Structure 1
Amino acid sequence: METSGATWAREGEAMVLGRGTRLLAGAMAVVCMVLVGPSAPAGSLFAGSPPLRAARDVVPNRVMTWNLCNPCAVSDVDRAAEIATYAPQVIGFQEACVRDVERIRDYLRNLHGLVYHVEYGTVLRNWGRCGGLPWNPGGFGQAVLSAAPMTEPVNVEYPDGGSEDRGYMAVTTTVGGRPVRVFNTHLAQRRQEAVRADQAGVLAGEVARHDRAIVLGDFNAVPDAPELRPIWALATDTDPQCHPSPTGTCQPTTDWQSKFDYVFLRGIVPLRHRVHPSPYSDHHLLHTDVDAT
């Protein structure tokens, strides 16, 4: 026959085990939520939930261009993490699907505390590029994310896109505390020099209307390519050593060691720039800090 002391001991042990089990279950639930990550389609973690990491400020005079690579089996969580590392004020995407951009923007806000506005410059609706239902393919083209609001958005498809529809977009936003016209483009694919020359002429005609402009994009041409002459006549590359001549020392921006990606500046002074190879695209991230005053 058990003594009353032994009974109390076993009851106490059961209470401790029960409470420990509940604590362990609660901890495991939290771990599962963190590991599983966003469950909503738009990428929001939970309604009204704070960022997983403390919010940080963007660099107000930093702009970035990045060809996202499409189609590529890449996580938008990883793309957002790459962008958050450098926290630019303005980002220009090429080969961008609307759904990917939406997720990247949500991950930047929910996981990194970086809040961006977005404008799209999509010129193609393609199920193979961007998925979606066959009768509702995703939009494909360019996009601009800006920490400041954007006004006067323009989306133009080039008269001749070459082997695939191409175009440029433009917005007015704030860089370094000053209003700036920002262009973002993707010229025709390689081995289509004549098409790119016509596209560059169209783009240059619009850039020339602004005393202060930033032109981002994948131009699919090396600096001394003849088709880029209209742009070089209006603006300079963010790299002071990069010129439209074979003697320029231009840092490559692609995995095949060519410079195809540019931040052209008109009426704006470059301060410093960086090129960052990324495992998430065949194009490197290119960002530059500028003096817009």
Structure 2
Amino acid sequence: MIVVSVLLLGPSTPGDALVGRPLPAGAAAEVVPNRVMTWNLCNPCEKSNVDRAAEIATYAPQVIGLQEACTGDVKRIRDLLESLYGLVYHVEYGAVLQNWGRCGGVPWSPGGFGQALLSAAPMTDRVLVEYPDGGSEDRGYLAVTTTVDGRRVRVFNTHLAQRQQESVRVGQVRVLAAAVAEYDRAIVIGDFNATPETPELAPMWALAADTDPQCHPQTSGTCDTTTDWYSKFDYVFLRGIASLRHQVHPTAYSDHDLLQADVDLT
């Protein structure tokens, strides 16, 4: 019975409860309409969805892209954001892998694993693309149209192949960049598993700028790091959009920090 319960509930949700922890001083009082964020949840890391929801509620972005996300966890996070903090989000799932070891379920019907997008505004024109070569694990991108800073914009969320798989990421970035190039204005968020100067990211740099205006492929030393191993792997790329403010928020609930971008679409 214990084994069955673990399979059904999933391994990544210990300590989930209906009591949220208080938000820190200075936390956002409501959704910030021009704020977008990206966060790799880390899986399997066995972190509570209550704590994950509190981290997101602290900054209350209009849109947040999650990577290494189980569909069940994302649903619980979305529900907790509403029930504990009054923040109402729409959700789109971008599962590219079915894995009960990561996401629970049962072996013959495992939970979905991949990307997800939470948006305070409705999302339309959802597209989920799995890269032809995911490397050691299936990878892809999720794209939607939604509202940021009062304007409709195309938002992409991706997770590229693991850090040692540079040649695989070359092909993945080509697929992603070709899709992004179709839009004059787009936001591309995610875990690219590559530092700014790596050759495979060149097609993205040709299309868009990082939310940090000091972060360039030629000067990666000025980029804020976003991981526990002090690398810049997480990006908010902006195409045809101005960055007003960016900030990396360290967290105890993942091996990746939250990356915030406040933007101007006007």
TM-score if structure 1 supplies the norm length? Answer: 0.81
1:69 and 2:42 aligned: yes
Larger radius of gyration: 1
For residue 85 of structure 1, what is the amino acid of its counterpart?
T
| Cα deviation, residue 128, structure 1 | 1.1
Deviations 1:73-96 (A, max 9, x none): 100000000000000000000000
The residue number in structure 2 matching 1:121 is 94
Give yes or no for contact 1:122–1:141 (8 Å, CA) kept in 2: yes
CA distance in 2, matches of 1:129, 1:162: 18
The residue number in structure 1 matching 2:103 is 130
Give yes or no for contact 1:56–1:112 (8 Å, CA) kept in 2: no
Paired residue for 1:139, among 89, 112, 123?
112
CA distance in 2, matches of 1:225, 1:292: 29
Paired residue for 2:250, among 261, 264, 277?
277
| Runs of 5+ unmatched residues, structure 2 | 1-15, 21-27
CA distance in 2, matches of 1:239, 1:247: 11
| Cα deviation, residue 56, structure 1 | 4.2
- Matched residue SS, 2:169: helix
1:266 and 2:246 aligned: no
CA distance in 2, matches of 1:98, 1:126: 11
CA distance in 1, matches of 2:17, 2:257: 27
The residue number in structure 2 matching 1:249 is 222
The residue number in structure 1 matching 2:261 is 288
Q: 1 or 2 for the larger relative contact order (CA 8 Å, sep ≥6)?
A: 2
CA distance in 2, matches of 1:74, 1:37: 12
1:157 and 2:137 aligned: no
The residue number in structure 2 matching 1:49 is none
Give yes or no for contact 1:56–1:114 (8 Å, CA) kept in 2: no
Paired residue for 1:38, among 13, 18, 32?
18
The residue number in structure 1 matching 2:23 is none
CA distance in 1, matches of 2:34, 2:221: 26
**Ranges of 4+ aligned residues in structure 1 off by more than 3 Å:** 36-39
For residue 281 of structure 1, what is the amino acid of its counterpart?
S
1:213 and 2:186 aligned: yes
TM-score if structure 2 supplies the norm length? Answer: 0.89
1:190 and 2:163 aligned: yes
| Cα deviation, residue 127, structure 1 | 1.0
For residue 144 of structure 2, what is the amino acid of its counterpart?
V
Percent identity between matched residues is: 75
The residue number in structure 1 matching 2:200 is 227
- Matched residue SS, 1:279: coil
User: Within 5 A, what are the aligned runs for 1:96-107?
Assistant: 96-107=69-80
How many residues get paired? 244
CA 1:119–1:247 in 2, change beyond 3 Å: closer, same or farther?
closer
For residue 49 of structure 2, what is the amino acid of its counterpart?
D
